[in-house]
Amino acid sequence: MTPVPPPPPFDPELAAALEEVAGTLGPGLTPQDIETARRSPAVELSAALDLTMDGAFEAEDREVPGPPGAPRVSLLICRPTAPPAGGPRPVIYHVHGGGMVLGNSRLGVEAALNWAKELDGIVVSVEYRLAPARAEDLSGLPPAFLDVGSAETFRDEVVAYASRIWQAGGAAELHVWPGGFHGFDGFVPQAALSRAARAAQLDWLRRLLAR
């Protein structure tokens, strides 16, 4: 039997943060854990987030029609309170994390609000019910930004997805952050690697909107 190589090491700053919470994290998520996970501190704290970012945005919850026969879809919409700087404002469409089984429209939206504050944009965050379908034909997709940690579960899947976009003639920018685990930039935002990842995301948006 071929021996399994060791996993990539964690970034030292990220590893230290994981050590501090090692006793509170489980090895995975089972169906029996879902209800408890939906009441986790991270999900509950998202409800207390200042969506106005100290008055920079006005926030509203709005329902829009869903597909025929399906329930209405809830959207969180955050618009800048200042007059437009000139021209139409970009819209950042946020789909929250949570493995398609937990979370809400406010989970993780702080990152999108920070981008919108820098770019004079609007944030629309969806309260989805079902996992979005991944298209088999990747031709004709808009430009994509993909980033992933070298020490996380979805690394190979993300790299393969970027490769498929390129093979289909599409535009994709891929970053593999050395030593990063899943969600590292949200879990340890003060780490140097996290700051670099967030800066790369914002830089990509600036370049995309400047075209």
List the alpha helices (DSSP H) in the chain: 12-20, 34-37, 41-46, 109-119, 155-167, 184-187, 192-209
pLDDT value for 108: 86
| 44 in any annotated domain | yes
Q: How far is residue 61's CA from residue 64's CA, in Å, rounded to a whole number? A: 10
Mean pLDDT of the chain: 88
Long-range contacts of 26-35 (CB under 8 A, 24+ apart): 29/99, 29/101, 34/101, 34/102
- β-pairing verdict for 73-80 and 122-127: antiparallel
Secondary structure (3-state) at 61? strand
Over range 88-115, report the average pLDDT: 86
More confident residue, 95 or 33: 95
Name residue 115's amino acid: W
115 has a pLDDT exceeding 60 = yes
| 60 in any annotated domain | yes
pLDDT value for 159: 97
DSSP 21: T
User: Are 129 and 40 in the same domain?
Assistant: yes
User: Are 102 and 128 in the same domain?
Assistant: yes
Q: Which of 5-9, 33-37, 143-147 has the highest mean pLDDT?
A: 143-147
pLDDT band at 131 (very low <50, low <70, confident <90, very high): very low
Q: Which domain holds residue 118?
A: 32-133
| pTM score of the predicted model | 0.81
Q: Which residues pair with 58 in a beta bridge?
A: 79
- pLDDT, tens digit (0-9, with 9 covering 90-100), for 174-195: 999 999 999 999 889 999 999 9
Name residue 7's amino acid: P
37-46, 76-85, 146-155, 156-165, range with the lowest pLDDT: 37-46
Number of independent structural domains in the chain: 2
User: Are 146 and 210 in the same domain?
Assistant: yes
- pLDDT, tens digit (0-9, with 9 covering 90-100), for 42-81: 666 777 789 999 999 999 999 999 888 888 889 999 999 9
pLDDT value for 27: 62
Name residue 63's amino acid: E
| 15 in any annotated domain | no
pLDDT value for 130: 45
Contact 59, 124 (CB under 8 A): no
Burial 130-163 (b: 16+ CB within 10 A, else e): eeeeeeeebeeeeeebebbbbbbeebeebeebbe
pLDDT value for 166: 97
Q: Last residue of a domain, which of 93, 113, 133?
A: 133
pLDDT value for 48: 78
pLDDT value for 135: 78
User: Are 43 and 72 in the same domain?
Assistant: yes
Spatial CA neighbour of 160 closest among 134, 142, 186: 134
